[in-house]
Amino acid sequence: MKSLPIRPLSRAEFAPFGDVIELDEAKSFAINAGKCIRYHDLATVETTGPQARALISLLRGEPYEIPLPLKMVERHPLGSQAFVPLTENSFLVVVAPDEGCRPGEPIAFETAPGQGVNIARNVWHGILTPLHGVSDFVVVDRGGEGCNLEEHFFDTPYRVEYA
């Protein structure tokens, strides 16, 4: 297995794959008579295809142990997919560039507590992988007609591990 080291999630490194959802450096302004701060426009939600609409779901995920094998990645050709944690547990985010309709070399990130991600439409990515405990997430993705899932299984799995 080829080693895939985990690095901290940052806006700059994740930008080719989507958005990091966090309060730091976010546009914000006061609302509700100054009693609330709105952190505005944190991610671009994409929905395309017949009868496309944005969906909001809740997921509860069991934790994974590191190191772990990365056997497959998936992508969603008709919409983006956002994961916003409701717990302080970090989670693993694996993404890969597209190289001729196949995933290129994957990159592994670990979120900081409170960070979420919005994975752009058509970006290869790993499955939701909570770390350090059962974790709940708000998920914003695409509903509607059409197949919105492609999977790719690697000939040789990667070993995702701390550097």
pTM to 2 decimals? Answer: 0.94
47, 145 contact by CB (below 8 A): no
Return the pLDDT at 25.
86
Max CA distance (Å), the chain: 57
Q: Is the pLDDT of residue 163 over 90?
A: no
Locate the domains of the chain by residue range. 2-162
Give the tens place of pLDDT for each residue, 114-142.
999 999 999 999 999 999 999 999 999 99
What are the DSSP calls for 17-85, one per residue?
A: GEEEE-STT--EEEETTTTEEEE---S---B-STT-EEEEEEEEE--BPSSEEEEEEEE-TTB-EEEEE
Neighbours of 62 (CB within 10 A): 9
Average pLDDT on 69-88 reads 98
**Confidence label for 23 from pLDDT (cuts 50, 70 and 90):** very high
Average pLDDT, the chain: 97
Q: Is the pLDDT of residue 22 over 90?
A: yes
Residue 129 β-bridge partners: 92
Buried b (16+ CB within 10 A) or exposed e, 82-93: bbbbebebbbbb
Q: What fold, for 2-162? A: Jelly Rolls (2.60.120)
Average pLDDT on 13-23 reads 97
